[in-house]
Amino acid sequence: MVTGHGPVQRFVRVWLPVGFFLVVALFPFYWMAITSIKPNAELYNKALMPLWVRHPTLKHYVDLISETSFLLWTWNTMLVAVISTAISLVLGTMLAYPLARMRFAGAGLIAITIAAVYLVPQPLLFLPLADVINRLNLGNTLTSVILTYPTMLVPFCAWLLLGYFKTVPKELEEAARIDGASRLQTMRQIFLPLCVPGFISAGIFAFTLSQNEFLYALIFLTKSAVRTVPVGVIAELIRGDVFYWGQLMAGALLGSIPVAIIYSFFVEHYVAGLTSGSVKA
Amino acid sequence: MAIHSEALGPVAAVRRRPLTLAGWLDRESVFSWLMMALPLLFLAAFVGYPFFYGILLSLQDRPVAKPGVFVGLKNFITDFHDPIFWRVAANTFIYTGAATVLKMVGGLGLALAMNQHFRMKNLVRALLLLPFIVPTVLSTVAWLWMLDPAFSVVNRMLIEMGVPKPGPSWLGNPVLAMFSIIMINTWRGLPFYGITLLAGLQTVPPELYEAATIDGATGWDRFRYVTLPLLQPIILIVTLFSVIFTFADFQLVYVLTHGGPQNATHLFATYAFDIGMGAGQLGLGASIALTMLPALALLIVALTLHMRKA
């Protein structure tokens, strides 16, 4: 790759465009953070420079936690995300392993079906699903979302894991088979332990997708005690036409932090998963 | 694959063990179907069944909490005579088209900028992906506040730069509201394009650029005749992905405008939600959601076949 050599050229070629993308990408988060620590007197005073804070305060955070059910929503969100991610990894593996390793009639059809189901967007299904959840008497229970999130996550995990499984060499499994291990033993004791990186990638994706989910939670969870963070923030911090911007931004920031932390630990796995769908699969 | 199994078929038959339960369970097809049975049943119950039930609902007059009455295609006829429905259809296509083009061009720019050597590249890449990983609703609330009619920080910066007070009404003016949701969708989706295309760029062998340079190619030539053709398969997949989920977008519009002002930003998903959940007409709402199906089915089939092939 031919690059400019002088410091000025280098600045124009590298840091000007990269800096532009960084500022645009990050400004909303900066604005979230700075708003959440501004006292109302500064927040709604147009004479002051808006980009800085004079007297930072944690009042909005204290109010958010003491006046709303934010902590409960956070707990609900975590619980739902962890359980539906676990369910999706298990069911996804059960689909992906035979498709990656076995030869049987109908394998191609199943693989295509899974890819297609993964691509079906929620708005196509939410009305009939709402009726199904009602008839099962699951409205306003966390079970309703724990059951419905995997409808998106299982095909997704299966597809991602299928790609990963195919990259794992077969020799160890073949050796185990020759030694007389059953297919189930081979899969559980030999194959799956080799696939931890694949599980981490799929798991992070599934976890962030469940944290992000809004439509099903909005429809199925209408009581404060069972809400997740996105629905709680939208439904209860925007009260009529009155906005509590300090609290809203505090909630938005706190709600983003779990995903951001998990993401920062596993960013390489995340990027690998993100790009494997289109670059390798 | 077909040739493979034919060649191995007779061998497997010769080696077939006496029929014990363990032996039967160890057959490839038996093992596979038993293993897949639970997830397939789950998907049939919670995706397959709702899908067909949705089609049935769309043919019913079905108020919430009352039994449905079969009415044939009446809901679809109502939709086609509803001027808002056509507005919604136009909105959805404009939104999807404009946001896709912006994400593609911006994403390519991002990928090219990132495909250079500089310090802290991994940190920069991680930060650039933040808009894509943070829950959409939460970042969209931040945008709602940034575009607030009274205290918009965007407008306050514009006024500093000389734009007359009070500045544009980003979410109150129909045209500007559409512009705003397109820009915010682009803000959120651009990193996905950028990072995926970057991964694609990194697979382009440097020798190709060197060869092109020796042949006298300019920077633009190298981009046009080396980079773009090699990226084309990735661009196609990323675009199909993004078009499907932009076309069926719900969250962003629900939070920012609820479809307003005067239905200027209603999309299929938000309109179906308003009719089905807000007005409680499940059948009519299902019919609106289902009108997305032909376009979506086309995209899904195209992408599925492409993913299989690749």
DSSP letter for each residue of A216-236: HHHHH--SGGG--HHHHHHHH
SS3 content of chain B, % helix, strand, coil (to 5): 75, 0, 25
- Measured in whole angstroms, the distance separating CA A166 from the mean position of its chain's CA atoms is 24
Place B204 in a pLDDT band, splitting at 50, 70 and 90.
confident
Position B26 in a domain: yes
Cβ separation B156–A50 shorter than 8 A: yes
Structural domain tally of chain B? 2
How close B287 comes to chain A (CA, Å)?
A: 10
Distance, CA of A99 to CA of B148 (rounded, Å): 51
Which comes out higher in pLDDT, residue A49 or A108? A108
Cβ separation A281–B310 shorter than 8 A: yes
Position B99 in a domain: yes
- Is omega for the bond preceding B166 within 30 degrees of 0, making it cis? yes
What residues of A are in contact with residue B268 (Cβ under 8 Å)? 123
Task: Give residue-wise pLDDT tens across range A165-182.
Answer: 998 999 999 999 999 899
Query: Residue B153 carries which side chain, given as an amino acid letter?
Result: V
Whether A234 and chain B come into contact, CB under 8 Å, resolves to yes
Identify the residue whose tokens are 């398969």: B233
Q: Where in chain A is the domain with CATH 1.10.3720.10?
A: 69-280
On whether both B95 and B42 belong to a single domain, the answer is: no
On whether both B193 and B268 belong to a single domain, the answer is: yes
On whether both B14 and B50 belong to a single domain, the answer is: yes
Position B65 in a domain: no
Hey, which residues 27-56 in chain A have their CB within 8 Å of chain B?
28-29, 31-32, 35, 43-44, 46, 50-51
Cβ separation B124–A148 shorter than 8 A: no
- Is omega for the bond preceding A7 within 30 degrees of 0, making it cis? no
What residues of B are in contact with residue A3 (Cβ under 8 Å)? 116-117
Beta-strand pair A238-239/B60-61: unpaired
Whether A125 and chain B come into contact, CB under 8 Å, resolves to yes
On whether both B90 and B48 belong to a single domain, the answer is: no
3-state SS, residue B70: strand
B50 and A129 Cβ atoms separated by less than 8 Å: yes
Q: Give me the CATH number covering residue B116.
A: 1.10.3720.10
Query: Does the CA dihedral B56-B61-B63-B69 come out positive or negative?
Result: negative
Which residue in chain B is spatially nearest to A103 when comparing CA positions? Answer: B28
On whether both B54 and B92 belong to a single domain, the answer is: no
Angle at B106 between CA B103 and CA B107, to 5 degrees: 75
Task: Give residue-wise pLDDT tens across range B166-191.
Answer: 889 999 999 999 999 999 999 999 99
Instruction: Give the pLDDT score at B101.
Output: 96
Token output for A144:
């309703």
CATH classification of A69-280 is 1.10.340.30, yes or no?
A: no
Distance, CA of B293 to CA of B297 (rounded, Å): 6
pTM, entire model: 0.89
Which residue in chain A is spatially nearest to B6 when comparing CA positions? Answer: A103
Position B12 in a domain: yes
On whether both B137 and B254 belong to a single domain, the answer is: yes
Position B64 in a domain: no
Task: Give residue-wise pLDDT tens across range B83-120.
Answer: 999 999 999 999 999 999 999 999 999 999 998 888 88
Interface-testing mutation among A119, A173, A238, with chain B (most B C-beta atoms within 10 A) = A119
B296 and A121 Cβ atoms separated by less than 8 Å: yes
Residue B141 reports pLDDT greater than 90: yes
Residue A69 reports pLDDT greater than 60: yes
Position B282 in a domain: yes
On whether both B228 and B124 belong to a single domain, the answer is: yes
Determine the angle formed by the axes of helices A70-101 and A245-265, rounding to 10 degrees.
30
On whether both B48 and B139 belong to a single domain, the answer is: no
Whether B7 and chain A come into contact, CB under 8 Å, resolves to no
On whether both B43 and B173 belong to a single domain, the answer is: no
Q: Find the domain containing B286 and state its range.
A: 77-309
Cβ separation B304–A115 shorter than 8 A: yes
Which of B58, B85, B101 is the last residue before a domain boundary? B58
